[in-house]
Amino acid sequence: MNKYESVIIINPNLDEEAVKAIQDKFTGLINKNGKVESIEEMGKRKLAYTIKKNTEGIYLNIHFEAKPESIAELERVYRITDDVLKFIVVKLD
C-alpha cells in the first residue's frame, strides 16, 4: 500500500453536520481498501478564484494509505459528490 494525501474543497454553505457526513463518507470509502491516518479540517478559506459561484470553501486534508487501484474509485466518488468543489490526490514518497 502507498501513502497518499488528498485535499478536498467543500461547499462553504454546508453546516457542520453535512461536512461531518461528507468526511465520514470519504473515510469509510478509504477504509474499505486502506487506512486513514489523519484528517485535518482546515476550515473555511477564501478561494483564489470563483468555483461554481463560490468565493470561499471548506478545506479538508486527508492523509491515508491505500492500494493504487482504489484511487480511481475515490476520485470518481469525489467527482459525483455535488458538494465537492475541487479535489486533488497526491502520492507521497
Q: What pTM was estimated for this model as a whole? A: 0.88
Residue 7 has pLDDT above 90, yes or no: yes
pLDDT in tens, 34-54: 999 999 999 999 999 999 999
Q: Which CATH class is domain 2-91?
A: alpha beta
Residues 22-34 have a mean pLDDT of 91
Task: Return d(Cα 45, Cα 42) in angstroms, integer.
Answer: 8
pLDDT number for residue 50: 94
Tell me what the pLDDT averaged over the chain comes to.
Answer: 93
Structure confidence at residue 93 (pLDDT): 82
Q: Secondary structure of the chain: what % helix, strand, coil (to 5)? A: 30, 50, 15
Domain definitions of the chain by residue range: 2-91
Output DSSP code: residue 68. T
pLDDT of residue 92: 93
Banded model confidence at residue 3, pLDDT cuts 50, 70, 90: very high
